[in-house]
Amino acid sequence: MNYSGYGALMRYDESQSPDIDRALLRRVLSYARPYRGHLVIVLATIVVITLLSLLPPLLMRQLIDVAIPEEDLGMVTLLGLAMVAVPLINGIVGVLQRRETAYIGEGIIHDLRRELFDHLQSMSLGFFTNTKTGELMSRLSSDVVGAQQAVSSTFVTLVSNLFAVVATLLIMMRLEWRLTILAVSILPLFIIASRQVGKRLRTIRRAQMEANAEMTGMMQETLSVSGALLVKLFGRTAFESSQFSSRAATVRDLGVTQAVVGRWFFMALGLVSALGTAVTFWLGAVMVINGDITIGTIVALSAYLAALYGPLSSLANARVEFTTSLVSFERVFEVIDLPVDVEPPTDPVPLTSIEGRVEFADVWFSYDSSVSGLESVRRFGWGDSGTVDDVVRRPSDGWVLEDVSFAVEPGKTVALVGPSGAGKTTITYLVPRLYDVSRGSVSIDGVDVRDLAPETIARAVGVVTQETYLFHDTIEMNLRYAAPEATTDEILAAAEAANIRDFIDSLPDGLQTRVGERGYRLSGGEKQRMAIARVILKNPSILILDEATSHLDARSEALVQEALDGVMQNRTSLVIAHRLSTVLNADRIVVVDGGRVAETGTHGELLVRNGLYAQLFETQFRAAPESPVAFP
């Protein structure tokens, strides 16, 4: 999707941008609550630094009006030492303040990332199939950092400048109340400027985050091993470069827009400050000439004017920064508030020993019931609770499964066969509860999987998928992922059982060999045997095989199938059939067509019925009975 920076900005209507409401602020500040003690220290340092910073003008006034006229060298010396001591103490206190604010900020980053990551971990498989990984990375990195800045840096600036303005005004009122009132009279101009620019920059900031997320998503897709291979094979390098250039240009244009708007803002603040200073100086000079105030007083007031207008400008800018920083919180909350469509049970049923009986009872399922990706979040309109309250669902896909009922007895093997797109893989997804059924139930040992703890299901069910995923780590760590406490001997035994021990032993680094991103340094057969070894280490009661040998050469398939035959012994197995031997050896065959169970029975029984299974058998196997032709 190509669009200019201006177009990205116009996607967000300023009239829809939410104001800073109390609910959102309460939620934001809740993340600072665990750091109350550190916040108290920060506030104390703000008071100390501000008060010390207000001393130099008074010291200068004392020097001009008292020490010099009275020729008091002792007082001159003390005042000079005080002027050195003030920045020294301020510097030391400032180091303490920086340490505390850094601790708070980094702590909030940790807490937000942990909560966001934990919530993402609880989302169903459907969420990840509809979300770009790069967009999630953007939420976990740049958005979280922006949220941290709102609490640490911007908050500290806001509080310190607010206290400085109040303290400066009090001192100025004691020195000369008329000039102070004149200086404060321009305050409405600061407020007007900050409000107008704040809305504009908040809109720009959100557009920037969206553009960055899209650019990050594209980089993640095209710069991964699989993405880079696809681009090169289809000769789309120039096209992808053009697409990236377009997205990068959007980020650039929005950055330029933000810089220009910010510069106009600072220019306006500078003009307002200059106007107030000029008027105050003029009237102050007149009062000095008339003998109403001393020269030392006007010198002190001039210094305090800078101390007043500086924080006032910063306050105006801090409000702008704070409102734009809240966009980061909003984007993080948008993900945190996404409803979990596969909720763990509040009172799970314990299963101490698992026999492995699996039953589908009147199961209906539609992917329509699953939350979509990040496009499902609501961008604006926080309710009283400060949560996203309008989740958009995917367009209806119709029923993928309709009234599916069958059972797999403990230790038995059921083969799922049927045309492509019949719903076989979806059936296997429901047992480990990657999705929840729309109607009916899926049970293990008579207990609905929705009533079992996720840990219980994970312990009971092992899955070998068509495409094996391996981490960019060593062979040992990839195998140990299934059983962290496994010994090296147990790992090697599992590798032996999976027919991959000889391959591992032939490698120079053995188990310590790194497999590359997604296991790209291994062949398809080697990765599949790694997946089988991983399942052997897990030792589940229920085994699910999703066409685990469909894309392998004959030798690799033979090795993998031999390993699978061993793994399936004495385990409840649900297999999407690929080879004739799998079908013939199955205790029962379930034929799926159009999301429904068309037939069930043994190989012989189904051939006698001369139904769909008989047609599939005739077209796929009888022509080449000796070769491992793929069964759909």
pLDDT score for 620: 66
Question: Average model confidence (pLDDT) for the chain?
Answer: 78
Confidence of residue 229 (pLDDT cuts 50, 70, 90): low
351 inside domain: no
Confidence label for 1 from pLDDT (cuts 50, 70 and 90): very low
Per-residue pLDDT band at 11 (split at 50, 70, 90): very low
Position 341 in a domain = no
Q: Taking residues 472-486, what's their average pLDDT?
A: 86
State whether 192 and 292 are in the same domain. Answer: yes
Instruction: Report the relative pairing of strands 461-464 and 358-365 from DSSP bridges.
Output: unpaired
Last residue of a domain, one of 281, 306, 336: 336
Residues 287 and 199 occupy one common structural domain: yes
> What is the CATH number for 524?
3.40.50.300
Mean predicted confidence (pLDDT) in 256-262: 81
pLDDT higher than 50, residue 149: yes
- Least confident piece of the model among 23-32, 363-372, 562-571: 363-372
Same-domain check for residues 121 and 245? yes
Range(s) of the domain holding residue 309: 5-336
Average pLDDT of the residues in 84-93: 90
How confident is the model at residue 516, as a pLDDT? 76
311 and 446 both lie in a single domain? no
Question: Does residue 381 lie in a domain region?
Answer: no
More confident residue, 202 or 601: 601
pLDDT tops 60 at residue 163: yes
pLDDT for the residue 239: 80
For residues 298 and 207, membership in a common domain is answered with yes
What's the CA gap between 201 and 216, in Å, rounded?
22
More confident residue, 446 or 232: 446
Q: How confident is the model at residue 159 (pLDDT cuts 50, 70, 90)?
A: confident
Percent of the chain with pLDDT over 70: 81
Distances (CA, A) of 406 to 332, 362, 462: 43, 9, 20
Q: Note the pLDDT of residue 66.
A: 78
d(CA 569, CA 587): 12
Is there a contact between 402 and 480 (Cβ–Cβ < 8 Å)?
no
Q: Is residue 88 part of a domain?
A: yes
Domain end residue (candidates: 302, 319, 336): 336
- 226 plus 323 within the same structural domain: yes
Number of domains in the chain: 2
Q: Are residues 175 and 296 in the same domain?
A: yes
More confident residue, 441 or 283: 441
Residue 89 lies in a domain: yes
Q: In this structure, is residue 103 part of a structural domain?
A: yes
CB burial readout 422-448, b (16+ within 10 A) else e: bbbbbbbbbbbbebbbbebbbbbbebb
Largest CA-CA distance found in the chain, in angstroms, rounded: 122
Do 84 and 168 lie in a common domain? yes
Q: Using 50, 70 and 90 to split pLDDT, how confident is the model at 427? A: very high
Q: Is residue 350 part of a domain?
A: no
Average confidence (pLDDT) over 330-352: 85
Q: What CATH number is given to the structural domain containing 301?
A: 1.20.1560.10
